[in-house]
């Protein structure tokens, strides 16, 4: 990160004050060896932060772009843009397009058993009755 080396950005700024205070206390106490270890800790913190920036670079850019656009675009357009670039949505679409993989993951072949989950109860015998009586019940099918 050139900006870090030039001094324009201080990645360790969040940790600088506590480390500085600790160095001061150690110096006053006469622990000079520990001061060197703190310098090493500070270097490790910077290295870890740089790795995180590299690892999440595309996510960071996407978030910055989204926040800039949020100032100028209506929310509906932001949501549409977000859905188009969402990795999970795209993976779900790919899965739906691949019928064989979709069937395999959801095990759409075999025996089917219907039941109801309403609150914390599970009762397959009264499935139809619960659906009529409890508007918060959920109907499901188990396939195995």
Q: What DSSP character marks residue 86? A: -
pLDDT average, residue stretch 87-109: 83
pLDDT average, residue stretch 78-94: 87
> For 41-61, what is each residue's pLDDT tens digit?
888 988 999 899 899 998 899
Q: To which H or E segment does residue 90 belong?
A: helix 87-97
pLDDT of residue 101: 86
b (16+ CB within 10 A) / e for 44-60 = ebbeebeeeeeeeeeee
Task: Kindly report the pTM of this predicted structure.
Answer: 0.51
Task: Considering only residues 82 and 8, tell me which one the structure prediction assigns the higher pLDDT.
Answer: 82
List helix spans (H) across 30-56.
Answer: 32-55
Q: Using 50, 70 and 90 to split pLDDT, how confident is the model at 100?
A: confident
pLDDT average, residue stretch 7-32: 81
């Amino acid at each position: 990160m050139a900006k870090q080396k030039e001094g324009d950005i201080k990645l360790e700024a969040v940790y600088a004050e506590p480390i500085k205070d600790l160095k001061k206390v150690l110096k006053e106490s006469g622990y000079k060896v520990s001061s060197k270890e703190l310098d090493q800790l500070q270097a490790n913190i910077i290295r870890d932060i740089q790795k995180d920036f590299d690892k999440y670079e595309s996510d960071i850019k996407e978030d910055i772009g989204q926040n800039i656009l949020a100032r100028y675009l209506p929310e509906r357009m932001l949501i549409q843009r977000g859905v188009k670039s969402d990795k999970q949505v795209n993976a779900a679409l790919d899965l739906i397009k691949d019928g064989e993989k979709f069937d395999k993951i959801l095990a759409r072949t075999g025996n089917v058993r219907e039941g109801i989950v309403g609150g914390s109860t599970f009762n397959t015998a009264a499935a139809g009755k619960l659906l009529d009586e409890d508007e918060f019940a959920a109907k499901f099918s188990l396939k195995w």
